[in-house]
Structure 1
């Protein structure tokens, strides 16, 4: 019988484990190594801004003492962007690059060319990321993490939260829909073509707080 799954708030000792889970699941549920060989840089860019205190409602799923999933989010987009800029300056501009770093720049360059869509940050100021190791999937961990996160956002009075995924993440799309997220936009992107072998479809989803105007407002 598998050990019980526990959902709890992130604490400082979890960040290295969260970065590890992010990397192991960063390519549509599989390892990000296929497109981003520099694991340390990946962790710094994807997790670093939250470590600086811009996040709220961050939780981990833990089983038998191992972090097997997480949800991270930031309720204030401007604070998150400022923290990300500091991370980029420290990790990309000032850091001595390795061969793995240089091979990872291909993805960063393409991500700048083909950015994900986003909704109007005034209407949907929060964003979130959720990832699970294979061993944690199918056990309700994703739903429990997401419900815990949304409960915190509700307590903060956040008017709306958005996320960007792709049609490659079928299970995640189903989870978000079941918890009330709606598709705000879809966009075919060549971002992932070198690694998938075909274009992907970005899916922008949003969830407004109860009682808010439900007409999504998008801003490029």
Structure 2
């Protein structure tokens, strides 16, 4: 978990290192990684280098609405006590704390056909070598085997490298706001 939190903060600034932006470097991990490993470990995969050091991960939730409900019961309450609204040393800390108290959720239009969602983060040492594609393929196979018809994800509009990567691995743009692009991918039917 510590390695995943480290990877998360080191990629949390639209793919770049967000450590200088945080007084508490665990906040991005609390928001974007920890619940997946804790509540849905069967859909969490870690990439390690030759020295067995984690350098990336992909995590997902089979059913976004069910996952949100489980987070409300088992993940967010203790974090909300630990991080009251308005607390935080930096502006970025306060932004993440805001997500703890009001977690982002996908639209009903997205989850109707793409109920699963994912997050993927790779350190620079893992980028550009096909590792991201292999992680996505691993998670897609896992979600598909568990019966998901589709997966979605959100990415910052300003993260052009990530947007191009998602398109290369088969995602298509579903919706866009000023800050976020939602990508979707239908999954193959479960094999019998």
Measure, in 1, the Cα distance between the counterparts of 2:44 and 2:100. 25
Which structure 1 residue ranges, 5 or more long, are not aligned? 1-14, 190-201, 212-220
Q: How does 1:104-183 map to 2 (within 5 A)?
A: 104-109=93-98, 118=107, 119-183=109-173
Q: Between Structure 1 and Structure 2, whose CA radius of gyration is higher?
A: 1
How much has 1:111 moved relative to structure 2?
9.4
Structure 1 residues 130 and 103: CA distance shift in structure 2, 3 A: closer
Structure 1 residues 187 and 153: CA distance shift in structure 2, 3 A: same
Measure, in 1, the Cα distance between the counterparts of 2:97 and 2:161. 26
1:29 aligns with 2:18: no
Map of 1:184 onto structure 2: 174
| TM-score normalised over the length of structure 1 | 0.72
Q: 1:92 aligns with which of 80, 102, 108?
A: 80
The count of residues paired between Structure 1 and Structure 2 equals 185
Structure 1 residues 155 and 94: CA distance shift in structure 2, 3 A: same
Structure 1 residues 106 and 59: CA distance shift in structure 2, 3 A: closer
Write out per-residue CA displacement over residues 112-137 of structure 1, whole angstroms, 9 at most, x where no aligned residue: 89x57644323211000011111111
Map of 1:205 onto structure 2: 183
Measure, in 1, the Cα distance between the counterparts of 2:156 and 2:78. 29
Q: Between 151-160 and 124-133, report the one with greater CA deviation.
A: 151-160
How much has 1:147 moved relative to structure 2?
0.9
- 3-state SS of paired residue (1:207): strand
Map of 1:78 onto structure 2: 65
Which segments of structure 1 move beyond 6 Å, counting only runs of 4 or more?
110-113
